Amino acid sequence: MARRRTAVLISGRGSNLRALIEACARPDASAEIALVISNRADAAGLDHASAAGIATEVIPHGAFSTQVGFENAIDRALHEHAVALVCLAGFMRVLSPWFVERWRDRLLNIHPSLLPAFRGLDTHRRVLEAGVRFTGCTVHLVRAEVDAGPILVQAAVPVRQDDTEASLAARVLAAEHRCYPMALELLASGRAQVIDERVVIDGAMAPDATVLNPRSL
């Protein structure tokens, strides 16, 4: 089967983009990263894309007088590059309902919490304040509501008593780099389908262990 042409939208560092590029370099990958779009010219992630020989476009939101103008430019670039799937990876602009609908079930996002808990920004600070014992990350299909939509893959990450925002963010980020390639592969290969607003994965197996935090004494 032809690989699904995938675009990644970024605004910054691009470590998830890098994980996606690495995973799609495997000969058996169902997706290929065909385009990287950034709304910021100084996004470090653009260098990862160029180094991998991937087409890049900078579409600065500030250059447009309306949000719809900005989104139309993104939509045009996606069509010009014959893109089938779109991954948001640290893309710091909220997309409007018309754009989200246009790319319905073909638009993914990663969020650094176990959704639906801790939607929005400053996730790790709020996780530490809440004193929860587990956090994690979620890859989901995008819906108009921010940080909501059918869940493809989640990772549970333990919170340690001595965690800082930075140490927790680093542990969650390592999990993100495993989850995003898995989620893209599931969608691109056709193994994941949306049924009644939930993702059903052909042949998926849940882990068999229940984990306690603190661990059993």
Q: How far is the CB of 59 from ligand GRF (least distance, A)?
A: 17
* Nearest residue (CB) to ligand GRF, 111 versus 143: 111
Binders of ligand GRF among 173-202, rule CB under 6 A? 173, 176
- Closest Cα to residue 22, out of 180, 191, 201? 180
Token reading at 21: 């590029």
Cβ(18)–Cβ(48) under 8 Å? yes
Q: Which is nearer to ligand GRF, 68 or 94 (CB)?
A: 94
14 touches ligand GRF by CB under 6 A: yes
**Minimal distance, residue 101 CB to ligand GRF, in Å:** 21
Catalytic residue among 48, 111, 124, 140: 111
Question: Residue 22 Cβ, how far from ligand GRF at the closest point, in Å?
Answer: 13
Collect all residues with Cβ–Cβ distance below 8 Å to 86 and sequence separation of at least 6. Answer: 6, 7, 8, 9, 78, 103, 106, 107, 108
**Least distance to ligand GRF, CB of residue 134, Å:** 16
- In this chain, which stretch among 9-17, 51-59, 159-167, 195-203 interacts with ligand GRF, using CB under 6 A? 9-17
Helix (H, G, I), strand (E, B) or coil at 52: coil
d(CA 68, CA 197): 26
Q: How many CB atoms lie within 10 A of CB 68?
A: 13
User: Should residue 71 be labelled a site residue for ligand GRF when binding is judged by CB under 6 A?
Assistant: no
- C-alpha–C-alpha distance, residues 217 and 212, integer Å: 10
Residue window 36-55: x/- pattern of binding to ligand GRF, with contact defined by CB under 6 A: ---------x----------
48 catalytic, yes or no? no
- Alpha-carbon gap, residue 150 to 196, rounded angstroms: 9
Q: Which residues bind ligand GRF (CB under 6 A)?
A: 10, 12-17, 45, 89-90, 110-112, 173, 176
